[in-house]
Amino acid sequence: MTESVAVSTRVRDAELIARSLVDGRLFERVFDRHHAVVHRFLRARVGLEVADDLASEVFTTAFRRRAAYDGSWPDARPWLFGIAVNLLRAYRQSEERRLRAYARAGAEPASNPGELDGQVEAFDGRGDISLALLSLSQQDRDLILLLAWGDLTYEQLGVALEVPVGTVRSRISRVRALLRDRLEASASTPVGEARSDR
The pLDDT assigned to 7 comes to 53
The pLDDT assigned to 189 comes to 64
The closest of 42, 13, 41 to 29, measured between CA atoms, is 13
Tell me if 105 is assigned to some domain: yes
Higher pLDDT, 75 or 119: 75
List all residues 6 or more positions away from 13 whose beta carbon is below 8 Å from its beta carbon. Answer: 30, 33, 34, 73, 74, 75, 76, 77
Tell me if 197 is assigned to some domain: no
Tell me if 90 is assigned to some domain: yes
Tell me if 120 is assigned to some domain: yes
% of the chain surpassing 90 pLDDT: 45
Give the pTM: 0.66
Tell me if 168 is assigned to some domain: yes
List all residues 6 or more positions away from 55 whose beta carbon is below 8 Å from its beta carbon. Answer: 35, 38, 39, 42, 84
Number of separate domains in the chain:
1
Domain extent for 30: 10-187
pLDDT exceeds cutoff 50 at 195: no
> Which of 91-100, 104-113, 128-137 ranks highest by mean pLDDT?
128-137
The pLDDT assigned to 4 comes to 42
DSSP-assigned states of every residue in 18-44: HHHTT-GGGHHHHHHHHHHHHHHHHHH
State the chain's mean pLDDT as an integer: 80
The pLDDT assigned to 133 comes to 84
The pLDDT assigned to 79 comes to 96
Tell me if 40 is assigned to some domain: yes
Tell me if 4 is assigned to some domain: no
Tell me if 1 is assigned to some domain: no
